[in-house]
Amino acid sequence: MANRTDPSAKNIHGTNPQNLVEKILRSKIYQNTFWKEQCFGLTAETLVDKAMELDHVGGTHGGNRKPTPFICLVMKMLQIQPDKEIVVEFIKNEDYKYVRVLGAFYLRLTGTDIDVYRYLEPLYNDYRKIRRKNGDGQFTLTHVDEVIDELLTKDYSCDIALPRIKKRLTIEAIGTLEPRKSALEDDFEEEEEKDEDEQLMETDGGHEKDYYREQSPARERGRDRKRDSHRHRDRDIDREYERDYDRDRGRGRDRDRERDRDRYRDRDYGRDRERDRRDRDRGGRRRSYSRSRSRSRERDRKDRDYDEERRRRRARDSSASPRRGAEDEKPPKKKKEKEKKDDGFDHPDPEIAAANRLRASIGLGPLRT
């Protein structure tokens, strides 16, 4: 009773789905311990959990041709016949590579020619490594795209005879399937564009070299002078930038103020000396410099007061800046935390989180553990 096909299952290729597996292999699967203990009473919901536990693919192995868990699950899928949406989700799943291969193998056995090419050819871009168990019981390393190529081009896979499908060229000639576009075509187009750009740059560079080669020595000297003039101009710009930078920092401003103050003081002193010399020539008496000295002292005092006040202001600003920043800072507003739906996607165990995503894609509830 446990080995009978689901009564609601439909015939595939005109026969019972379990008849796609040869009778000898089918009998060995029915007698296998994994089939009796793990596959008994499996449904479409519990089959997902068993598929995620797979760690290798293969058919039968050993002297008595013991079936692998992979082929047992394929047999169980033929028995319960899950919906096509579930099989497509198996193939589109990117977290579990063995689940993807299981869905691809089942679709190759039960799907139409168009569905096989449509859903299996995109898996040529999956280069992940998987383990395969050979007939002698030894494990070998293969890739997902190699398994897909075997399903599309070979007659046997995992000790099961694959149903015949039409050639792709025949289906394209009928018009039911579009020509296959490789994922490498975009890379080839980019490489061709790069080669064309490099050829254009090489040709343009050659014309430029010929043009400069035909120039006269006078023009070359003029070009050198022009280049040197730009170099001197850049150096002058750098000097102006440094002078402005020093002035902004305060050092250049203080030096300019002291130089102007000395120049004004020398000018006033010289003007007074010139006036006294004219007075002596006219027979007058010598003037006193007390007035000019008092003016210069008053000016020096004002400059000192200004510098002192400037230093005090800087010290006050530097000491008050952290407090001002602390006052200006406003406490961050607390965002209202939205209630998260308990979908199991944020589970601390990454395997359980990936399993919950797969279960949600096919409409199943999350795992509680």
Residues 293-307: tens digit of each pLDDT: 666 777 778 788 888
C-alpha angle 8/83/50, rounded to 5°? Answer: 100
Give me the helices (H) in the chain, please.
23-30, 33-37, 44-52, 69-80, 84-92, 97-110, 113-120, 144-153, 168-174, 185-213, 217-249, 251-281, 290-328, 350-361
Say what the pLDDT of residue 326 is: 46
168: amino acid identity, one letter: R
Each residue's pLDDT tens digit, 18-76? 999 999 999 999 999 999 998 888 888 889 889 999 999 999 998 889 999 999 999 99
Does residue 205 have a pLDDT over 60?
Answer: no
Q: Which two tokens stand for residue 259?
A: 């130089």
Does residue 207 have a pLDDT over 50?
Answer: no
Each residue's pLDDT tens digit, 239-260? 666 666 666 565 555 666 666 6
Q: How far is Cα 193 from Cα 52, in angstroms, rounded to an integer?
A: 44
- The residue with tokens 């168009």 is 114
| Average of per-residue pLDDT across 120-135 | 92
Does residue 212 have a pLDDT over 60?
Answer: no
| Average of per-residue pLDDT across 125-146 | 93
Top-confidence residue, 352 or 151: 151
- The residue with tokens 């979908």 is 343
| Residue 92's pLDDT band (cuts 50, 70, 90) | very high
Kindly report the average pLDDT of the chain as a whole number: 77
139: amino acid identity, one letter: F
* Least confident among 122-136, 240-254, 279-293: 279-293
